[in-house]
Amino acid sequence: MLPRMENEPLLCSVCHQPVLAEQYFCANCGNSLKEKPVPISLASQIGIYALSLLLPPLGLWPGIKYLAKKSPEAKKVGAIAVALTVLSSIVMIWWIFSLFQDYLAQMSLVLQ
């Protein structure tokens, strides 16, 4: 393989048509040229963490999506989202279980 020159145009690895460095997909054949970065701004992080905490199962999707990314920042956001989802699920299960126990206790009082 020849060393790539600095100002040599980028070529699509599939159809060998010139592509731009900022393109995510080849305009000619649709080949994925690079990974589309996920938003890791503070606002989007807060959104994902809030989703993980308030609606536990839903937080898993962005969490896994972010974990699958190559960028270490995205991986970190994904790991936190998954951790928050697990934590929130445990609290939710414990809360439902304690409500159920209260309900059972009340039922046994009524039945006595």
**15: contact with Zn ion by CB under 5 A:** yes
Binding Zn ion (rule: CB under 5 A), the pick from 28, 32, 71, 106 is 28
Question: What are the phi and psi torsion angles at 54 (to 5°)?
Answer: -90, -35
| Cβ-based burial of 26 (10 A; exposed 0-12, middle 13-18, buried ≥19) | buried
Question: Which has the closest alpha carbon to 38: 5, 2, 78, 9?
Answer: 78
Binding Zn ion (rule: CB under 5 A), the pick from 26, 81, 82, 84 is 26
Q: How far apart are CA 112 and CA 105, in angstroms?
A: 11
| Nearer Cβ to Zn ion (36/109) | 36
| Nearer Cβ to Zn ion (33/48) | 33
| Nearer Cβ to Zn ion (30/47) | 30
**20: contact with Zn ion by CB under 5 A:** no
* Contacts to Zn ion by CB under 5 A: 12, 14-15, 26, 28-29, 31
